[in-house]
Structure 1
Amino acid sequence: MTFDLGDGIRLRLVDHGDAEAYAAAYDVNRAHLAYWDPVRDESFYTVEWHNGLVTQYLRDHADGRAARFVLTHDDGRILGVANVTNIVRGAFHSADLGYWIDASLAGRGVMTRVIAIVIDYARAELELHRLQASTLLENAASQRVLRHNGFEQIGMAPKYLRIAGEWQDHLLFQRILSDS
């Protein structure tokens, strides 16, 4: 399942051969992501590390716990990711949404289109009732992506995630999928 976004850019589920492109994408975007991500050990930027992650991602997908997407270019580069993780079934039928995009594509509306596709996948393929997401308080770009895709802010969580080495407050968003 591949979604063509134009300009040689496609969205697809993670595959076995993605470790090298993952490592390269994170390495190229170190400075761009440093403010928004946890502090990363140098080993995180290696192909070996990402081989293990891709293996785990595929296992999680097979077990129904997650669906991880990569935004790729025709030349094989990974230009971003979108993840539906922590899928909980039962009475909840909900999951977390996370994403990032290569610095070269930031602010061009690409991630807004990606998230629309991921929402449709979460509704139709994963049969989820709800997606939730969080952003740092000052991450206006990510908040625009969420709002543009029908997410509503539902609160603020103090010291929610350890980002850039600090426990940081986050705005919480949700999108109900089963009513749309």
Structure 2
Amino acid sequence: MSNRQGRAWPAVLEHDRLRLRPLSVRDRRAWREVRERNVAWLSRWDATTPPGSNARPRTFGAMVRAMSAEAREGRQLPFAVEYDGRFVGQLTVNNITRGSGQFATIGYWIDEAVAGRGLITRSVAMAVDHCFFVLRLHRIEIAIRPENVASLRVVEKLGIAEYGYAPRFLHIDGDWRDHRLFAITREECPRGLVARLDS
């Protein structure tokens, strides 16, 4: 894996034909095309607004600008996932916490047309390595719905251990949904997840 800029953010992470780079307002058309084509594939895993919330739906541009502002503050890393130069998904490092915690969470989605090729598995490995070795974070967490078999395979392939279960954890697809919780620390993979994946 290479980090072309060698810095925390903005960062471009590359491995063969797979590339993670900052999500941009210029991705609007490609992002919308992939999301519209994958409505049935993605909607059951998408975050939704709980009843009574004041949050309003945002345009793509507003979403990217908000995420970019969070990235500038060191609280988030919003990556576009590209394969063979084509936009195929999104991976976001969220909730970056410093101080005594030094942890973050990762969420992701991918175009069904390229699912099953290990692209998100490798993307997660690349992002975790970036968090551990460039951002110097200590722990990365991933929350997955019990029904999301494809996502559960990602953490299984990477050897990320399950540590708990959170009932009604996040508002997904119109209701509060249970999640299985997974985490890995830097001590558990001193050579990184990409090296573990390749061994």
TM-score by length of 2: 0.78
**Which one of the candidate residues 116, 132, 150 is aligned to 1:123?**
132
What percentage of aligned pairs have identical amino acids? 34
Residue aligned with 1:155, SS: strand
**Residue 3 of structure 1 aligns with which residue?**
14
TM-fit CA distance, 1:132: 0.5
**Residue 59 of structure 1 aligns with which residue?**
69
**Which one of the candidate residues 131, 144, 158 is aligned to 1:135?**
144
CA contact (8 A) 1:38 1:162 kept: yes
**Residue 85 of structure 1 aligns with which residue?**
94
**Which one of the candidate residues 37, 43, 48 is aligned to 2:46?**
37
Letter in 2 for 1:26: R
Counterpart-to-counterpart distance in 2, 1:146 and 1:171: 11
TM-fit CA distance, 1:135: 0.7
TM-score by length of 1: 0.86
**Residue 162 of structure 1 aligns with which residue?**
171
TM-fit CA distance, 1:38: 2.8
**Which one of the candidate residues 17, 22, 42 is aligned to 1:13?**
22
Q: CA RMSD in A?
A: 2.1
**Residue 8 of structure 2 aligns with which residue?**
none
Segments of 5+ residues of structure 2 without an aligned counterpart are: 1-11, 50-55, 191-199
Larger CA deviation: 153-162 vs 20-29: 20-29
Count residues with an aligned counterpart: 172
CA contact (8 A) 1:98 1:133 kept: yes
Give per-residue Cα distances to partners, 1:66-105, cap 9 Å, x unaligned: 1111112456x42111110110100000011101110111
CA contact (8 A) 1:157 1:171 kept: yes
TM-fit CA distance, 1:16: 4.4
Counterpart-to-counterpart distance in 2, 1:66 and 1:149: 22
TM-fit CA distance, 1:25: 2.4
CA contact (8 A) 2:13 2:126 kept: no
Alpha-carbon spacing, 1:73–1:108, altered in 2? closer, same or farther (3 Å): closer
**Residue 174 of structure 1 aligns with which residue?**
183
Counterpart-to-counterpart distance in 2, 1:87 and 1:39: 21
**Which one of the candidate residues 87, 91, 103 is aligned to 2:112?**
103
Alpha-carbon spacing, 1:29–1:69, altered in 2? closer, same or farther (3 Å): same
Letter in 2 for 1:55: R
Counterpart-to-counterpart distance in 2, 1:62 and 1:86: 13
**Which one of the candidate residues 57, 70, 78 is aligned to 1:68?**
78
Segments of 5+ residues of structure 1 without an aligned counterpart are: none
Counterpart-to-counterpart distance in 1, 2:48 and 2:24: 26
